[in-house]
Amino acid sequence: MGDAMVDVASYVLRALERLKQGAPSLDAQPQPLMQTFDALRDTLREQDLFSDDSLVLLSGGGNRVVLNAKGELVSSPLFKNIAAPFAVFGSGPYTRTFAQKNAALKASCDDMAQLFGAQVPCVRIPHGPAGAYLIKDKGFLVTGRYEGEVVAAAILVEKACRAELLAPKVGQLHYLNPALCMVEHAVYLASYSQHEKEASDELR
């Protein structure tokens, strides 16, 4: 597993630890969902990936809600076609810039291939089964089967955008074979992602 995923893993573990300890909740939503919201918000803020415009989709206990950065219930067309139980719309300094290019983010490392497949498409409204999207002119929307996967996806998208933007200065990126990317993604979903989802479910 690459350096990017090693960095990501530490933040995932910290987010899950917050969930086990509990966090201050808001009365507007069930406490378990607000604990999850607090953990995601705090972890992504540490990485400069959560702002006043961010939105979070959470599922649990028969509830499926979209919350704004203040933890208030809202609705957004960004999540209309999202089937995953967790998702975050946000942005970082590099995703904000790269999203203005209206270009897909191609997999240039195994970590990207595992989480996203061959590419992260750039769209206005997400659709289809992609695990992550660049939102034109705005930032990213990442999805996950469990909370930690959302954190990992957000950090990895920002790192990939950084690599793309710095490539002209430090050297050309080499993209992975799309077919091999899809194989890596399928293996990831069937093994590591499934195992971590089951472990996360046990904490609820």
Answer whether 22's CB lies under 8 Å from 203's CB.
no
Q: What residues contact 187, with CB distance under 8 A and at least 6 apart?
A: 114
How distant is the alpha carbon of residue 82 from its chain centre? Answer: 13
Answer whether 33's CB lies under 8 Å from 63's CB.
yes
Half-sphere exposure of 108 (CA within 13 A, CB side): 18
**How much is the pLDDT for 19?**
46
**How much is the pLDDT for 170?**
84
Q: Rounded to an integer, what distance in angstroms lies between the CA atom of residue 141 and that of residue 153? A: 9
**How much is the pLDDT for 15?**
52
DSSP 8-state class, residue 54 = -
Write out the chain's pLDDT in tens, 204 residues: 455 444 555 555 555 555 444 433 344 556 788 999 999 999 999 999 999 999 999 998 888 999 999 999 999 999 999 999 999 999 999 999 999 999 999 999 999 999 999 999 999 999 888 899 999 999 999 999 999 999 999 999 999 999 999 998 888 899 999 999 999 999 999 998 998 888 877 776
A 10 A CB-CB count for 119 gives 20
- List, for residues 178-192, the tens digit of each pLDDT value: 999 999 999 999 998
**How much is the pLDDT for 13?**
54
* Domains of the chain by residue range: 3-202
**How much is the pLDDT for 32?**
85
- Under CATH, which number does the domain 3-202 receive? 3.40.225.10
**How much is the pLDDT for 23?**
39
Mapped onto helix, strand or coil, the DSSP state of residue 2 is coil
Mapped onto helix, strand or coil, the DSSP state of residue 57 is strand
**How much is the pLDDT for 3?**
54
